[in-house]
Structure 1
Amino acid sequence: MNELLSHIDPNLLQQIGFYSHQIDFTFLSRLSFLLFILAMLLGTGLSLTVSQILEPLRNVRLVIFSLVANFVVVPFLVFLVLQFVTVSEPIKIGFTILAVAAGPPVLPKLAQMVNGNLAFAAGLMMVLMLGSSIFMPIVLPLVLDGVQISPWQVAKPLFVSLLPPLAIGLLIRWRYEAIAANIVPFLRRVTNFSLILGLVSSLALQFNSLIELAKSGIVIAIAVFIVVAFAVGYFLGGPNLDTRLTLGVGTAQRNIAGALLVAGTNFEDPAIISVIVVTSLSLFVVIRLIARISLSQQAQPEAESTTSVGNVQ
């Protein structure tokens, strides 16, 4: 290996090192996720109608169970576990903030990944984010000393960043359905590319923090948090598999924008932000596993049905 490296031009190595250090991963991560959110929500609006989004929300029982899963069960379980598990104070604060921050802006994409209910995901995202704008300012000051946050701070991303592209997509779909159908495949490619780029750049930013968290054993706690939160949403998601999967991933993935807002404005310890970011990023890995399992389970009945038809013929 040393002999091979000796034949490489030192100037080339210096240039590679120079350009790698010039990459602003913070800017790249923010730009990627901004593009991801805009493309995802625009594509969601182009794929649905207003009545389709509102239809699942007419199921009062499902909406109540969704609120209970996100604002009662998950916060209570996390609070209970933190009373018996010994962790450092930054980790405890990070998990506490995540527990009360419901309504992931990426929920429609998560639902798409697990073949869930896209219309329910869009409506649930708005309901949970509005709920968080009321729930977080009330609960966080009670469980964490010195935390101050206004309802508008949590609700602002919903009205400023999320609703406009969704509304534009719905409007285009309403007036020009054929054009909307042609745009959706392109937006899905943009969404997938920007998501991958955002995850890679975020992992590069949080690599050292990830190593430190892995050494502390907190990765196991993160995995337990994700699995338990998904199970809570899944079992409260009603009789249909698509809504169970949607509420499962919507409960497991928290409102990272709201959580980071609280952590960044009220605490100076970077470990708190690392816990929030690493936990949120870890869910995307788990989602891929859930997606494969759910898709294989849905494919089995279809395969059995096709085989049965073939045998009859």
Structure 2
Amino acid sequence: MDLQTVTDAVAAVAVPLFAVTSMIAVGLGHTVSQFLAPLKDVRLVLAGLAANFIVAPAVAFTVIAVFGIPQEARIGLMVLACAAGAPFVLKLSKLARTDMAVSSSLLAVMLLATIGYMPAALPVLLPGVEVAPGAIASVLLLTMFVPLVGAVLLRQFTPTAASMAQRPIGRLSLMAMVVMLANQFLADHRELAGLVGTGTIAAILTFIALTFGLGWALGAWKTGGGAVLGISASQRNMGAATVVVVANFEDSLAVPTVVLAGFLALIVLIPVARWLGRGHGPQIGKALPAH
């Protein structure tokens, strides 16, 4: 059995497992009312939607043009830019000491919006690239929507069981993410090495910095909102992006680009979140008022 066969087999399990368990872990922590709670703050919701679905794709389009990265890497970065609602946002928000209730509720809204946004937006944002909106929608529904809704219903009607399951599911999700990243690095090490010197790494780092900064600016009107929206906009949903690129652009540089971007985001944003949590910066690391 060769290396390619092994890594393909691991990816076939780890990629959907990470996506599904991530959604379940988020859903187990939310009742239906908690999902609806952020809708009361219309301005914050609109700012979050703008940061994730207007600013992030616009920044990706800009850095792609500026750095002139390879076409397949462009696809990977644009898919990632359209994927909001990363479960890892909650870990970053905890490190940054933001209001976890607000971060969780916004995460839920972004997750649901991503399911409808990606199939509609990608064919428009990737002209000339063959994209199957129906396939994208079906993948997202199966790996995100169904697990999320199922977990929320479990939390709604059997809170004790949901509370008991949330921590082990969260750990399983983290393990699946680590395995997925390590496996893709092993499988695509030559392709990843080939990205060096193409401007892709610089483009990804610039994308992370700009989405964080612009997200912060959109949330700066609300105490602590800069941290919430900065993290939300810059930490993209690698699970959703990965299942989409694997299903639609397998055996292309789009897959290692998403993996590389996810890895670089962790390297950049974990220290930033820790720094914010120590109270550095005007209001950015402070918690939002409790609701």
- Unaligned regions of 5+ residues in structure 2, if any? 95-99, 284-291
Residue pair 2:115, 2:141 contacting (<8 A) in 1 also: no
- Read off the aligned partner of 1:137 and give its amino acid letter: P
Matches within 5 A, 1:1-313: 21=3, 24-99=6-81, 101-104=82-85, 107-115=86-94, 116=100, 117-140=103-126, 144-150=127-133, 152-237=134-219, 239-241=222-224, 244-254=226-236, 257=240, 261=244, 265=248, 270-297=252-279
1:203 shift after superposition = 1.7
Higher RCO, Cα 8 Å, sep 6+: 2
How many angstroms apart in 1 are the aligned matches of 2:15 and 2:256?
A: 17
**What SS does structure 1 have at the residue aligned with 2:87?**
helix
- Read off the aligned partner of 2:120 and give its amino acid letter: I
Q: What is the aligned-residue identity percentage?
A: 25
**What SS does structure 2 have at the residue aligned with 1:114?**
helix
How many angstroms apart in 2 are the aligned matches of 1:269 and 1:200?
A: 17
1:189 shift after superposition = 2.1
1:294 shift after superposition = 3.1
Residue pair 1:39, 1:188 contacting (<8 A) in 2 also: yes
After superposing on structure 2, the runs of 4+ consecutive aligned residues of structure 1 that deviate more than 6 Å are none
Which residue number in structure 2 is paired with residue 304 of structure 1?
none
- Unaligned regions of 5+ residues in structure 1, if any? 1-17, 302-313
**What SS does structure 1 have at the residue aligned with 2:83?**
coil
How many angstroms apart in 2 are the aligned matches of 1:214 and 1:158?
A: 31
How many angstroms apart in 2 are the aligned matches of 1:264 and 1:159?
A: 13
How many angstroms apart in 2 are the aligned matches of 1:262 and 1:29?
A: 12
Q: Report the count of equivalent residues.
A: 272
How many angstroms apart in 2 are the aligned matches of 1:33 and 1:131?
A: 21
**What SS does structure 1 have at the residue aligned with 2:253?**
helix
Cα deviation 1:226-285 (Å, max 9, x = unaligned): 1112222232235243x54443333224455457746864x7982344333322332232
Q: Give the structure with the higher percent helix.
A: 1
Cα deviation 1:147-191 (Å, max 9, x = unaligned): 4443x3333233222122222222222222222222222222222
Q: 1:170 to 1:292 in 2, by over 3 A?
A: same
Q: Higher Cα Rg: structure 1 or 2?
A: 1
Q: TM-score, normalised by structure 2?
A: 0.77
Residue pair 1:103, 1:254 contacting (<8 A) in 2 also: yes
Q: CA RMSD in A?
A: 3.2
- Read off the aligned partner of 2:30 and give its amino acid letter: L
- Read off the aligned partner of 2:84 and give its amino acid letter: G
How many angstroms apart in 2 are the aligned matches of 1:94 and 1:36?
A: 18
1:108 shift after superposition = 2.3
